[in-house]
Amino acid sequence: MLFKQQALLRQKLFVLGSLAIGSLLYLVARVGSLDRLQPLCPIDGRFGPRGQDEIPLRALQFKRGLLHEFRKGNATKEQIRLHNLVRTRALLEMLNLHPAVVKASQEIHFFDNDENYAKGIEWYRKKMPFSYPHQITIEKSPAYFITEEVPERIYKMNSSIKLLIIVREPTTRAISDYTQVLEGKERKNKTYYKFEKLAIDPNTCEVNTKYKAVRTSIYTKHLERWLKYFPIEQFHIVDGDRLITEPLPELQLVEKFLNLPPRISQYNLYFNATRGFYCLRFNIVFNKCLAGSKGRIHPEVDTSVITKLRKFFHPFNQKFYQITGRTFSWP
């Protein structure tokens, strides 16, 4: 009883995962209309006749073999380049190393789900873990960042809340989105369009902004919606790529943003060559490695499509740097 009285939900911090891989819905282009059109785009024309523009069943099995080699430490540089390691869950688990941080055990989807939101704030509070007055409670749901209603809903609950946004190179993030859907299709023995078919409009040969994986990577468009309710000082931008390859500096920046005493050190992080990413050391007896699903191999994508996407995202990225005051080494 005493524990329940002391365990107060004092403060909530939301991790707005613009990596947003796990909760997105996808639409496939209409096959009937594509069949009747002559290829107007040189990129589209290279995909070949119908059937060749789809990923065949088990297409990623070979690449999963590469992932196995990577985890054994036998991968080449090219294989390592293909290895996708970044997920929003990584930040949550790493921050949980700090004794003043407690995390929700699952994605709540309160603010982005109308049905859950209608259940009221008390329903949401009951989903939060107990925390002491000196602790910060963290909850993350990737769809929060891109869902239009969320900023206003969070503002009405707590206008002084602190917000973390995790970003990675936009083109890579879009391909990662696609890869998750592709793997889901593969598990169901279904084929799926190649990434190039979805990301490029065959009628105009331009980037298809109706494709959700592309829209999600236009970070500045989503951030501008949030800035109608919250000042930029209440946001901290986390480099999702660096978080995986060099986590400690990113975690130290988050500690500073949250006004937490520095507690996470190199002792808490060690690279596991078998798994291919960092594991967490909570104390002398308890270690934790992220699950194997945290590594995902991307399919090969036409280099001209990658170039076109990077050129498309470039002005949006520059504006994002200007607004946030943080620059990334994105092409």
- What gap in Å lies between CA 145 and CA 20, rounded to an integer? 8
297 pairs with which residues across the strands?
A: 83
Query: Would you place residue 163 in the very low, low, confident or very high pLDDT band (cuts 50, 70, 90)?
Result: very high
278 labeled part of a ligand binding site: yes
Annotated ligand binding at 168? The verdict is: yes
Is there a domain that residue 149 lies in? Answer: yes
Lowest pLDDT segment from 2-6, 139-143, 179-183: 2-6
Choose the most confident range, by mean pLDDT, from 1-10, 56-65, 259-268. 259-268
- If you average pLDDT over each of 8-17, 35-44, 108-117, which comes out highest? 108-117
DSSP label at residue 28: P
175 sits in which H/E element: helix 170-187
Nearest to 220, CA basis, from 304, 109, 326: 326
- Could you read off the pLDDT of 278-306 as tens digits, one per residue? 888 988 778 888 755 445 678 899 999 99
45 part of a folded domain = no
**Tell me: the pLDDT tens digits for 198-253?**
999 999 999 999 999 999 999 999 999 999 999 999 999 999 989 988 999 999 99
Query: Is residue 191 very low, low, confident or very high in pLDDT (cuts 50, 70, 90)?
Result: confident
Q: Is 81 annotated as a binding residue?
A: no
Residue 7: in which H helix or E strand, if any? none
Nearest Cα neighbor of 39 from 47, 31, 30, 28 is 47
Q: Output the pTM of the full model.
A: 0.76
Identity of the highest mean pLDDT range in 4-13, 89-98, 171-180: 171-180
- Structure tokens, 311: 């050129």
CA 21/CA 107 separation, integer angstroms: 13
Q: How far apart are CA 209 and CA 170, in angstroms?
A: 13
In the predicted model, what is the mean pLDDT of residues 76-101? 64
In a domain, 29, yes or no: no
- Per DSSP, helices labelled H in the chain are 2-6, 31-36, 42-45, 61-72, 77-82, 88-95, 114-117, 121-127, 150-157, 170-187, 195-199, 212-216, 219-226, 240-245, 247-257, 303-324
Give the number of domains in the chain.
Answer: 1
Range of the domain at 303: 88-324
What CATH number did the domain enclosing 194 receive? Answer: 3.40.50.300
Query: Does 236 count as an annotated binding residue?
Result: no
Q: Cα angle vertex 23, ends 165, 103, to 5°?
A: 55
Q: Does 51 or 32 have the greater pLDDT score?
A: 51
Q: Which two tokens stand for residue 57?
A: 């069943």
CA-to-CA separations, 144 to 15, 82, 151, 226, in angstroms, rounded: 9, 28, 8, 10
Please state the length of the chain: 331
179 inside domain: yes
| Amino acid 235: pLDDT | 96
On whether residue 130 sits in a domain, the answer given is yes
**Residue at 23 is within a domain:** no
Q: Is residue 81, in this structure, part of any structural domain at all?
A: no
184 marked as binding residue: no
At residue 272 the predicted structure's pLDDT band, cuts being 50, 70 and 90, is: confident
* Poorest-pLDDT segment among 14-23, 28-37, 99-108: 28-37
Asked whether residue 10 is assigned to any structural domain, the reply reads no
Whether 295 has a binding-site annotation, put simply, is: yes
